């Protein structure tokens, strides 16, 4: 009995994944029998695919980032020029000018602005400094003939704040992980659709259904061989080995905030926010194989680092390929390392004798 072959579509890259579903849907739309008998399952499949289409069209880079980088460089240059000029005038031979320079320089020292610091921190400090320069220190600034430079610094800082607000609005409309979510929904609706088609073929060997299945299988075979790199087996069905439990590959591939994160900086994670860990062999199990293993967060700046353990009741999703948990809310801001400790040994295998440690190779930043 002819049936549509299975395919691991999760392993396709975004472009190939999109094209596979696009061609499948076009093939299905052109088939009269499928359009008549499978509408209930084809319609949600098409709707989910349109979500993927939308997610794919969203540029991974927000071009406002270029403008933000440019204006950040400009305001840094203006600030550095202002700071150099003030320092140079401290030894000015005119007493009033030298005194004014010393007063303004003390304010610069008090704020201690690093032009290479985190951009938002720099924005707030510059705003406060400029407020003082245009307010309580305006007399001294005028005496130094730096009023225009202060205005330029204020304008550049205001432009930076406006651009950041525009980008934040853009991010608010763009769900982190939108492509992942869209792909998952498309794959699920595809499999259900194919199950229905296979069932119809089994019940009624209609020529149009068989034609669809043959064309779909030809496409699947090509994707397996040319894109997924799978070779067609030359063994007969009764010669194929039965699947046996395998030891998983332990690897954390990505870490990101589930909602409200910064797509440009996915490793900046909010305290108390839901964090997603993706990879292979991740399932958290203790030595009994029943309870969850450990998620450990370690600060990188301590001489003797102390592990912070995520409470078991904060682990929301616990599978081989995906962990979701709520980040410890009371940790300090800064850089941390993340690792998992689990006795997981693959489905169907007994737990490991010693815990396996899976480290994420990059630092995460808690904000």
**How far apart are alpha carbons 171 and 174 in whole angstroms?**
5
Distance from CA of residue 57 to its chain's centroid? 17
Phi, psi of 129 (to 5 degrees): -65, -45
Task: Name the β-bridge partners of 268.
Answer: 365
* pLDDT for 239: 46
Q: What's the token pair of residue 275? A: 């964090």
Of the listed ranges 48-62, 168-182, 188-202, 259-273, the one predicted with least confidence: 168-182
Q: What angle do CA 33, 36, 42 make, to 5 degrees?
A: 95
Q: What is the CATH number of domain 251-366?
A: 2.70.50.70
Can you say whether the dihedral through the CA atoms of 217, 218, 222, 223 is positive or negative? negative
Answer for the pair 123, 114: CB distance below 8 angstroms, yes or no: no
Q: Among the listed ranges 209-213, 238-242, 297-301, 311-315, which one has the minimum average pLDDT value?
A: 238-242
Can you tell me the mean pLDDT for 117-141?
88
> With bands split at pLDDT 50, 70 and 90, how would you rate the model's confidence at 240?
very low
Question: Is residue 243 very low, low, confident or very high in pLDDT (cuts 50, 70, 90)?
Answer: very low
Q: Residue 176: is its pLDDT beyond 70?
A: no
* Backbone torsions φ then ψ of 115, nearest 5 degrees: -60, -20
Q: How far apart are CA 190 and CA 176, in angstroms?
A: 23
What is the C-alpha separation between 282 and 253, in angstroms, rounded? 10
Q: What is the rounded CA–CA span in Å between residue 239 and residue 235?
A: 6
In this predicted structure, the answer to whether residue 324 has a pLDDT above a threshold of 80 is yes
Q: What is the CA radius of gyration of the chain?
A: 30
Which residues are bridge partners to 334 per DSSP? 366
Mean pLDDT for all residues in the chain: 84
- Reduced to 3 states, what is the DSSP secondary structure of residue 73? helix
Give me the residue spans of the domains in the chain: 9-58+176-239, 64-172, 251-366
């Amino acid at each position: 009995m002819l049936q549509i072959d299975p395919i691991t579509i999760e392993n396709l890259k975004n472009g190939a994944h999109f094209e596979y579903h696009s061609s499948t849907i076009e093939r299905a739309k052109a088939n009269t029998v499928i359009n008549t008998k499978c509408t209930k399952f084809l319609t949600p499949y098409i709707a989910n695919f349109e979500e993927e289409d939308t997610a794919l069209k969203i540029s991974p880079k927000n071009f406002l980032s270029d403008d933000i980088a440019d204006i950040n460089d400009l305001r840094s240059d203006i600030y550095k020029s202002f700071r150099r000029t003030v320092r140079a005038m401290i030894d000015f031979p005119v007493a009033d000018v030298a005194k004014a320079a010393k007063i303004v320089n003390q304010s610069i020292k008090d704020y201690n602005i690093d032009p290479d610091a985190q951009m938002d921190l720099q924005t707030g400090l510059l705003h406060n400094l400029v407020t003082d320069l245009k307010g309580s220190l305006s007399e001294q600034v005028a005496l130094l003939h730096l009023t225009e430079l202060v205005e330029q610094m204020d304008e550049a800082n205001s432009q930076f704040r406006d651009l950041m607000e525009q980008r934040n609005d853009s991010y608010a409309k763009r769900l982190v992980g939108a492509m992942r979510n869209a792909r998952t929904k498309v794959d699920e609706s595809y499999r259900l659709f194919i199950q229905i088609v296979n069932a119809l073929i089994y019940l009624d060997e209609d020529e149009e259904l068989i034609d669809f299945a043959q064309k779909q299988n030809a496409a699947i075979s090509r994707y397996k061989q040319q894109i997924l790199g799978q070779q067609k087996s030359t063994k007969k069905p009764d010669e194929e080995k039965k699947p046996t439990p395998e030891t998983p590959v332990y690897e954390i591939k990505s870490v990101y905030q589930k909602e409200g994160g910064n797509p440009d900086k996915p490793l900046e994670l909010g305290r108390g926010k839901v964090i997603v860990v993706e990879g292979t062999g991740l399932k958290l199990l203790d030595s009994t194989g029943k309870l969850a293993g450990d998620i450990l967060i370690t600060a990188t700046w301590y001489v003797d680092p102390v592990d912070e353990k995520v409470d078991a009741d904060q682990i929301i999703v616990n599978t081989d390929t995906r962990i979701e948990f709520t980040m410890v809310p009371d940790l300090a801001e800064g850089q941390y390392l993340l690792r998992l400790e689990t006795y997981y040994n693959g489905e169907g295998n007994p737990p490991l004798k010693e815990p396996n440690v899976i480290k994420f190779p990059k630092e995460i930043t808690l904000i």
